[in-house]
Amino acid sequence: MEYCGKRRRADKSGVSLLPELRYPSVTEIVSSARALAAHRPGLCALRQIGVSRAGRPLHLLSVGHAERAVLVVAGAHANEPTGGSTLQALAERVLHERELRADTSWHFLLCADPDGASLHVTPAPRTLFDYHLGFFRPAGPEQPEWSPSVLPPDRLPPETRALTRVIDELRPYLQVTLHGTDLGGSWVQLTKDIPGLAEPFAKSAAELHIPVETGASDAAGWPASGPGVHVMPAPGSDAAYPSMPDDARHSTWYHTHRYGGLTAVVEVPMWASDLVDDPAPHPAPDAALRRLAHRLLRDALRCRRCSRRYCRDSPAPTGPPARREVGAGAGAGPRPRLGADAARRFDDGVRRQCRRVRAPAPCGPPRCCCGSSRRPTTGRRRASSAWSPRGRRLRRTLPGPLGSPGAPGRAPVPHGGRGGATCAGRRGLTSDR
């Protein structure tokens, strides 16, 4: 079966040309799972386990009939589309390799948050800027896995209740939830320590040319059993940061502990940086933090001025109010409909602001911060240090599941510079950031 994350473009004669590198949509993932179930009906089963807040179905693909179960969850965060393609590849591998399902049944939750996935509209980002143009991520109380850490049980969303029902039904000894990050490396978070995991994890990452992130911010304050392998606090221990309003120990990750299981949260990057696996201390951390804080404050003030000008110049909405999108805050009102002129002015303002903060334009060829298409100057390399410190290059690692055919590979750095990004997921795709 052809990998759904690779859609081929065809010319007028119908001849297939280069593949289009993109993440599969929820519809494509469900279609792929339905095809697997139809191909091996005695071994695979696809069923609906619930519906989302907007009425979208939640599908579970099961492979095998053993009592000992593994649950794989994808799409828990709307802005992390890497899990869907990985889930597809893993389901096909389990189906074709008998030893993987000899004494274990595998169950795949295709997308835990289909409503959020419909609002994150960047299936094929070529740059970090493209990725953030269509960015959407719901607040913590609306995330299926995280909502129990901030909401009482009677206010949990239906996606969370469906996930916990599946855990209660299957009683998996292992739950693997597939997550992703936009820039950095790969790491694992465990609800219970797995001795010896760090070595095979590092070996797998090295084979795929993905760096292991040794200082992930998501795991700050948690002990590490090895490079890139972090262990969350035990249910009876003290929280790493008691002042935080939410607690990971109340999330669905710990629901498997009721049946003696554990959860592994696997993170993989869309763009990889070789610097995240460097454990050497920074030579001047205080000065670097002050410099970054100054830049963040400066850029935030510029963006605020830009948004204020946009709100002041935009015409008042006309006609009936637009329906509030799923995922908006509980107290959010309807979003106004913007006219074509207002949308065009806003887009022009974004482009001007991007040039001020040295960000790539939303479309078009990569250019220097001065607007020319010549090779980046030394100043450009210094400006790009926020993305690739010390001039090292970033690598585009996805789309494409971990371990998929053709995953390793490096493409040439664009413009001959050292601050570009190359694709480690497929050859030939380059990015300016």
pLDDT of residue 131 exceeding 60: yes
C-alpha span between 5 and 23 (Å, rounded): 5
For tokens 């579970």, the residue is 60
Neighbours of 170 (CB within 10 A): 21
pLDDT tens digits for range 279-318: 788 899 899 999 999 998 898 888 888 777 766 666 655 5
State the Cα–Cα distance between residues 159 and 292, nearest whole angstrom.
Answer: 38
Q: What is the pLDDT at residue 275?
A: 84
Average pLDDT over residues 7-13: 45
**Closest by alpha carbon to 40, among 94, 85, 88?**
94
Name the pLDDT band for 274 (thresholds 50, 70, 90). Answer: confident
Give the pLDDT confidence of 86-126 residue by residue, as tens digits: 999 999 999 999 999 999 999 999 999 999 999 998 878 88
Q: What pLDDT is stored for residue 241 in this prediction?
A: 65
Of 5-9, 39-43, 140-144, 381-385, the range with the lowest mean pLDDT is 381-385
pLDDT value of position 382: 32
Q: What is the pLDDT of residue 303?
A: 82
Mean per-residue pLDDT of the chain: 75
Q: Global pTM?
A: 0.69
Which residue type is seen at 148?
P
Looking at per-residue pLDDT, the higher value among 268 and 366 belongs to 268
Q: CB of 409 within 8 A of CB of 426? A: yes
Query: In the predicted model, what is the mean pLDDT of residues 210-228?
Result: 89
> Predicted confidence band at 381 (pLDDT cuts at 50, 70, 90)?
very low
- Residue 332: is its pLDDT beyond 70? no
Q: Which DSSP letter does residue 212 get? A: B
385 — pLDDT class (breaks 50, 70, 90): very low
pLDDT tens-digit series, residues 225-270? 999 999 998 887 776 666 666 788 889 999 999 999 999 999 999 9
**Whole-number pLDDT of residue 306:** 79
The whole-number pLDDT of residue 147 equals 93
- Residue with the bigger pLDDT between 126 and 200: it is 200
Residues with Cβ within 8 Å of 274's Cβ and at least 6 positions away in sequence, in order, are 211, 392, 393, 395
CA–CA distances in Å: residue 382 to residues 247, 294, 303, 368, 433? 39, 16, 22, 12, 13
For the chain, percent of residues with pLDDT exceeding 90: 46
- The strand pairing partners of 60, in sequence order, are 47, 109
Whether the predicted pLDDT of 351 surpasses 80: no
Spell out the long-range contacts of 220-228 with Cβ–Cβ below 8 A and sequence spacing 24 or more: 222/189, 225/190, 225/193, 225/194, 225/195, 225/197, 225/198, 226/197, 226/198, 226/199, 226/201, 226/202, 227/198, 227/202, 227/277, 227/279, 228/185, 228/186, 228/187, 228/188, 228/198, 228/201, 228/202, 228/277
Query: What is the distance between the alpha carbons of residues 129 and 433, in angstroms, rounded to a whole number?
Result: 8
